[in-house]
Amino acid sequence: MDRQFNTSIQDNYGDQLILDNHSNPTKIAIMSDGKLVEFLSLLPPNIPQIGSVHIARIQQVFKQHRLANALLEDGTHISVRMSDEKLQTGSLALVTITAEPWDTKPARAVLGAELAGRYVIVLPGKPEIRRVSKNSGLNKDSTSQQVDLTAAGLPDEFGIILRRQAADAQASSILNEIKNLITSWQDGADLSFKLDHISTPKKIYSGPTLLHSAGIIAPLANSKICIDDSEWQEIYDELDNAAKPRFITDQDVAIWFQPTKGLTAIDIDSAGSRLSLPQLMPHIGQTVLKQIRLRQISGAIFVDMPRLSKSDRIKFNQLCINYALADIRHPDIYGYGPAGLLEMTVRHRHMMLENRMKLLSSKA
C-alpha cells in the first residue's frame, strides 16, 4: 500500500534522509512528505560507482554506434559513449561512470571527467565549455544570464553545463551545488595524474559518497539516524512492495508494472477506486512517476491510462511532466502516441530496485 510512514520514521513533512550511520552510511532512504521515493545503498566493489572517474583501456571501438568497450583498473568491463572523439584500440582514456550495469549490459561511462549534480554538470579541465543542456528549457536571455551567474562561481580550470532543473532553481542552490561538487573533487581526486605518463588503467576519483549523492538528490532534506533493523522494517516493506509487478495505491487503484528487455508497460486499473476522473488523474500521475523513480525504471515506458478524452489526455500529460521534475534522471515525456498510450523515456542511471535488493540480500 502507498501509505505514509508513522512518526517513528517520519516526524514531519518535507524531504528527509533516513541513514543507518551518521558519518558513513551504507544505505539511505529518501522520504518526501512521509513517503519513500528513492533508496540508495553501497554495492559490491566489482560494480563501478556512479560519478567515479577512471583511466580506462579502450578494447574495441564501434564508430557506427559511437560506443567503445573499455576495461577498468580492476578488470571490470564498461561501455563508453563517444561523440566525435577518435579512439584507438589499446589506448587509454579518461572516463566517468554515468550508469550502473543493468540486465546483461555493463556499466556505462562518458569520456572525460564529469561531476554531475541536480542543477549542473561541472567539467574539470574544460574551462572552454560554458553552456546549457539542450533540454534545459531556458530561453536565450535566461541562458545568457544563468551561464554568466554560475560561471562567476567557478574556478578558472572548470567548465559547466546547466541542467534542466536549473531553469526554476534559486541561484543560491545552484552555486552551493557547484561549490560542493568542486570541493568533493578537490578533496578526493588524484589531481597529479597526467594521461601521457600513465601506462595502465587507474582510478582517479572514487566518486561522491552515498551521503553526498543523497544530498544532490534532496538538497534541502533533514536527516535522521536509524541504526536498528527494526526501525527500517517499514522501509523494507515498502521496498518489497515496489519490487512486485502489482501495486495498489491508497485510493485502491491497481497499477501493473511489466518490464521487458526493451521497454516497460504500465497498466492502470482504476475500477476499484471511488475517485472521480479529475481526482484520479493527479493521483495516478503522481503515483506512477514516484514508482518509476523508486523502482529505478529506465528506457522506453508506455502508460495505459483508460477512458480519457483528448483534453484530459493533454491535462494528464502535463501533470506527468510536472511530477517528473522530482526525478534527477529528468524523464522525457512525449505525450500520447498512435496506440493511445502515454510515452516517455528515462535515462538509465541506477540498476532497477529489484536487482539492487537481490544484491543486498546476497551480501547479507
The answer on pLDDT for 268 being more than 80 is yes
The answer on pLDDT for 85 being more than 50 is yes
pLDDT for the residue 8: 38
pLDDT for the residue 363: 66
Write the CA distances from 38 to 120, 174, 231, integer angstroms. Answer: 21, 22, 17
The answer on pLDDT for 86 being more than 50 is yes
pLDDT for the residue 146: 62
pLDDT for the residue 64: 86
Q: What predicted TM-score, i.e. pTM, was given to this entire model? A: 0.87
The answer for 354, left when phi > 0, alpha when psi is -120 to 50, beta otherwise, is alpha
* Nine-digit cell string for 349: 542511471
Q: What percent of the chain has pLDDT over 70?
A: 90
Taking only the tens place, the pLDDT of each residue in 25-82 is: 999 999 998 889 999 999 998 899 999 999 999 999 998 888 999 999 999 999 999 8
pLDDT for the residue 277: 87
Among the residue ranges 139-153, 171-185, 340-354, the one predicted with the least confidence is 139-153
pLDDT for the residue 10: 38
pLDDT for the residue 6: 39
The answer on pLDDT for 5 being more than 60 is no
125: Cβ–Cβ under 8 A, 6 or more apart, which residues? 112, 113, 157, 158, 159
Averaged pLDDT for residues 148-158: 75
Averaged pLDDT for residues 131-140: 64
The answer on pLDDT for 254 being more than 70 is yes
pLDDT for the residue 300: 97
pLDDT for the residue 1: 39
